[in-house]
Each structure stands twice: as structure tokens, then as C-alpha cells.
Amino acid sequence: MKIRFLLVNALLFAAITVFAQQPSKTQSSAQKLGTALYLIDNFYVDTVNLDKVVEDAIVASLKELDPHSAYISKKDLEKANEPLVGSFEGIGVTFQLIRDTITVIGPTPGGPSEKVGIMAGDKFIKIDGEDAFGKKVDNEYVQKHLRGKKGTKVTVSVKRGNDKELMDFEIIRDKIPLNSINASFMMEKKIGYIKLDRFAQDSDKEFKSAMEKLQAQGMKSLILDLRSNSGGYLNTAIDMVDEFLKANQLIVYTEGLHSKRQEWRSSDKGMYTEGNLVVLIDEGSASASEILSGAIQDHDRGVLIGRRSFGKGLVQRPFNLPDGSVIRLTTARYHTPTGRCIQRPYEKGTEEYYKEMTKRLEHGEYFHADSIHFPDSLRYKTDKGRIVYGGGAIMPDIFMPADTSFNSKLYTNLVRKGILNRYTVDYAMAQRDKLKGQFQEFSQYNNKFQVTDAMIEEIKKMAEKEKVKWNEEEYKRSEKYIKLQIKALIARNVWEMQQYYEVTLKEDPTIKKAIEVISNDKTFRKLLN
């Protein structure tokens, strides 16, 4: 008890010392908090985990401020930063848990698993001699057993296809890159396509590399796909916008009560400042995605196609706490070059804020552009005098309704039960050599491969075993999309993730519209004037 007494008093003293130079109101609040902790620790009826009480108090306090201020414990910090830092250490496989078994979707190209011969479709039955299947196996289990420090070893026993004997592989863990570009390839009519998943530490380097390859292949126009890109680092977004703008154009500025206005402008080093540009956005495009699309729109540099973006325009700055945890505190707001505030309102509280997407669906916004209304008081003008609106989020120049072709209970259940994944993994495993022999180039597969009725019958049998009712009316409604997904998933399992996008984008209505717009110089220029 004496030690705990000293600890709480030390905490109280530290809080008072930190705020000693602050206004008296802040001092009073710090003293009040310290006193409350002292009373709980010394007079509460039961034993209390004081660390948890403090963490819960911080989390609750931040929720009262805005939806994006957050507390991250020391334990969770590395995991939270991982997608943006852009790498981790492990064996290098993309996997899915199919029937409580770790099934390899594909090894990371050049990674440790590929080097020893791990293939898509392999099932990990044992890890370091221990059974690695069953109810105990979840994502946390996989990370705990397969990730680890670079240079350490792990042995996996693999079941491959119909082989009765398990195959043992010794894998030496290494640094595995987390690429933020999912796909980059040439489409028709000298149009390049880049799918950016997030704005990570090395995204600009990846982007430049992809652009150089596309330009070497004769690219004259670019479609940049930011749909479902939830953002990332501000500096990465600024660096990427810089590739599109001419010198000294305002990219974004931030401002807050305790943060003076700070501006970022373009340099004269942009590698794509002239060609036609289309940026795709939707309700999942947030933060850094909105900084980029807002700057492109305000400077009339390109055409935005899709649906209204998420509306996250709050700047978070990390503050380290004494125990190694971090508070990511909102300190300013993002504004586009015209002055539009990207952040949508959150005065009704965090819970209501996150119901916004459901409300958009209920209001019909995903399907009808005329369901979206902006007040005249939030009207702004782009460089060429086009009208754009503030009030949170970025509204595209061309609205595209959500695709409902996959909207059936049957398709949802086929995905939810993992039936499409299991079928395509097994099919790719059995037919890989045949497919690669039949289709020397992937483009041949993309143009000629057809999902047959016999394949659908096999999936139907799998569905029956999983007690998924096969409704013919629902199947006919989603038939085209189901077959497209089967073809794309097979492509991913035989080749790589990029080939998945090459298949699905051929039937994507938003991509078709983007190609139509970007291919016609007259239409393109008219939209920007």
C-alpha cells in the first residue's frame, strides 16, 4: 500500500508540475484529476487497476473532443503504425483462414516464403511442430507464430493439393514490404491506371516508380483510383499532389486555435503536370485522399469521378506519454486551396458522426446525385471559376451511383461463408500449370477465360454443404458479378493481386466512365472550364 501511495502521489505531483506554468484553470483540472486517482486508489471498496482507470479516462475524454483524436497504448502502437510505416518482419505470405486452416493466397514476390517454394493454395498444418489448425487459429495466432524478428527461423508443415505427405519448409524471416499500390498497368488508348490503397511512408516512391513504367509504355493519360483509400501521412499526400501541379500552386493549408496557418505549395519538379488526369473517389476516400482530390479539383488539374468522399479533415499530432503510449490529438483542420474545410460536422457526437454513411445510404445518396444539397453560403470557385462546395467532404465533378449488381443475399452468403474463396483457391491449385500453359500471357486469360456452368454447379454443391440456400432468381440477378469475381479470384491465385484488378475493372462502370471522359480531349477540357 505504501508503494502505491507513493506512486499515486508521484503521479499527482507530476501532473501539477507539468501544468504549473499553465493558466490556473488548467492547474485546477490537473489537481482535481490527481486527487480523484488518489481517492480511488486508497478508499475504493475493491482492488483497482489504476493504469486501466487512467487509460479509460483518457479514452473517454478524447471521445468528447472529436471523432479522430485517439489514445494508443504502448502495446498497440507498433501495430497501429505498421500500415503507414510500410513494412513488418515475417515470412511474407498473404493468407486466409479457411475452415480454421491457414491457407496461402500467395507468397510475397521475392519474400522468404517464395524463396523456399511456398505456393498459393498451400495449407499450413503445423508450425514448429505444433498443430496449426482448429478453433484456436485466428489472425492473432497467425501473427504470433509467423511474424518475428528478421533472421529468426520458423518451420512449417504444408499440405499441398492431394499429396498425402506433409512437406516441411524452413523459412528465415525477413523484412516484408507493405506496398500501398495494389495495381498499376496500361489500359486502352494509352491510358495508365494506378490503384493506391493508402498514403504510407514510401507511397510517393512507389507512385513515381509506377509512373515511370507506365510512361515508358506510352502512357498519355492517367486514372488514379483513390476509392476506399482512407488516407495516411500528410507529407505523402503533399508529395504526390506535387507530381501533378506546376510550381508554386497551393496544395493545402492547416489552421487551428493553437496552430497558426501553415501552407504547402508545389515545386517545379512534378513529373506529370500536363496529361489528362481522372481521380476516382467514393465515400471511403478520406483524409489524405481528400487533400489530393481537393487540390486537383480546386486547380482544375483533373476530373473527379465517383461519389462524395468521407469528410475527414482534422489534423492529428502525436504526443508521447511517460509510459510509451501516445495521444493522437487533433490540433488543426485541413483546407483545400480555395479555402474549403474538408472536415464534415461532428457536433452531434462521435456515435452520430459514424452513422453518417448509413444515413447517406438511407437518403439515397449512393444512387442519386440530386439527393445531395449544399448551402450557397459554402460556395467556392476554382481557378477557372467552376463552382465547388465546402461543408465537409469532396463532391466529384461526375457522380457515379453505387453498383448494385452484387446486391443479393446469395452473393453475400457465398462470400460470408468463404465459398468463393475456397473454390477459387482449390481450382487455382489444381489448374495452375494448365492455365499458364494455355494462356502464355495474362491478357489472353483476361480476354478468353470463361467461368463455365460446370464450375457454377461445383460451387452450388459447396453452397449446399454449407447450408447456403441457392436461389435461382438471386443468382440470375448477380450472375455476371459472381462469375466476374470467380474469374478475378482465380487470376489472383494463379498470378498476383494486380491481375485481380485487371479482371474486375473491365466491367467497372466507374472505370468505363473514366475511360470515356479521359479519351475525349474536348469533353475533358469542357468539364474543367
- 3-state SS string over 198-247? CECCCHHHHHHHHHHHHHHCCCCEEEEECCCCCCECHHHHHHHHHCCCCC
Question: Of 177, 210, 231, which marks where a domain is finished?
Answer: 177
Whether 520 maps to a domain, the answer reads no
Please give the positions annotated as active site: 287, 298, 312
DSSP type of residue 254: E
Q: Choose among 214, 224, 206, 213: nearest CA to 190.
A: 214
Instruction: State whether residue 153 is helix, strand or coil.
Output: strand
Sheet holding 398-399, edge to edge: 181-186, 191-196, 221-225, 276-281, 303-306, 398-399
| Residues 188 and 172 both lie in one domain | no
Q: Is residue 528 part of a domain?
A: no
Q: How confident is the model at residue 355, as a pLDDT?
A: 84
Structural domain boundaries enclosing 57: 2-74
Contacts of 1 (CB under 8 A, 6+ apart): none
Question: What is the pLDDT tens value at each position of the chain, 529 positions in all?
Answer: 444 444 444 444 444 455 445 556 677 877 888 888 889 888 989 988 888 888 888 888 888 899 899 899 888 877 776 666 656 789 988 887 877 889 887 787 778 888 888 887 789 999 999 999 888 888 888 888 998 888 999 999 999 877 888 999 999 999 887 789 999 999 988 999 999 999 988 899 999 999 999 999 999 999 999 999 999 899 999 999 999 999 999 999 999 999 999 999 999 999 999 999 999 999 999 999 999 999 999 999 999 999 999 999 999 989 998 888 999 999 999 999 999 999 999 888 888 888 888 888 888 888 888 877 777 778 999 999 999 998 889 999 999 998 877 778 899 889 888 889 889 988 998 898 899 999 999 999 999 999 999 999 999 999 999 899 999 999 999 999 999 999 999 999 899 889 999 999 999 999 999 999 999 999 999 999 8
Report yes or no on 81 lying in a domain.
no
- Specify the residue for cell string 461463408: 417
d(CA 140, CA 50): 27
Examine the domain organization and report whether 97 and 225 are in the same domain: no
pLDDT value, residue 366: 86
Give CA 39 to chain center in angstroms.
Answer: 44
The answer to whether position 331 is within a domain reads yes
* The predicted structure's pLDDT at residue 87: 64
Alpha carbons 331 and 288: distance in angstroms, whole number: 16
CA 494 distance to own-chain centroid: 24
Which pLDDT belongs to residue 363?
84
Question: Degrees (nearest 5) of the Cα angle 446, 450, 451?
Answer: 125
Q: Is residue 517 part of a domain?
A: no
Q: What is the dihedral of CA 353, 355, 360, 363, to 10 degrees?
A: -110
Same-domain pairing of 157 and 264: no
Domain count within the chain? 4
- pTM as predicted: 0.84
DSSP state of 337: T
- Between helices 2-18 and 24-43, what is the axis angle to 10°? 170
Residue 428 resides in a domain? yes
Shared-domain flag, residues 68 and 112: no
Domain-located, residue 194: yes
Task: Assign residue 387 the CATH number of its domain.
Answer: 3.90.226.10
Together in a domain, 133 and 20: no
* Closest residue by Cα to residue 39 from 28, 53, 27, 52: 53
Q: What's the pLDDT at 82?
A: 63
- Grid coordinates representing 229 are 483509400
Kindly state the DSSP code that residue 65 receives in the 8-state scheme.
T
Cell 509504355 found at = 217
Question: Could you tell me if 482 and 385 lie in one domain?
Answer: no
3-state secondary structure at position 256: strand
Residues 122 and 256 in one domain: no
Are 148 and 282 members of one domain?
A: no
481 with 410: CB under 8 angstroms? no
d(CA 485, CA 493) in angstroms, rounded, equals 12
Residues 229 and 340 grouped into a single domain: yes
Same domain, 452 and 472: yes
Task: Say how far residue 82 (Cα) sits from the centre of its chain.
Answer: 12
**Coil, strand or helix: which one is 371?**
helix
The CA distance from 320 to 315, in Å, is 16
Q: Are residues 165 and 50 in the same domain?
A: no
DSSP state for residue 393 in the 8-state scheme: S
Complete DSSP assignment for 441-489: SHHHHHHH----HHHHHHHHHHHHHTT----HHHHHHHHHHHHHHHHHH
The CATH number assigned to the domain holding 119 equals 2.30.42.10
| The last residue of a domain, from among 125, 146, 177 | 177
386, 403, 420 — which closes off a domain? 403
- Alpha-carbon gap, residue 192 to 213, rounded angstroms: 10
How far apart CA 122 and CA 146 sit, in angstroms, is 15
Residues 208 and 323 in one domain: yes
For 494, list phi and psi in degrees, rounded to 5: -90, -40
Q: Is residue 522 part of a domain?
A: no
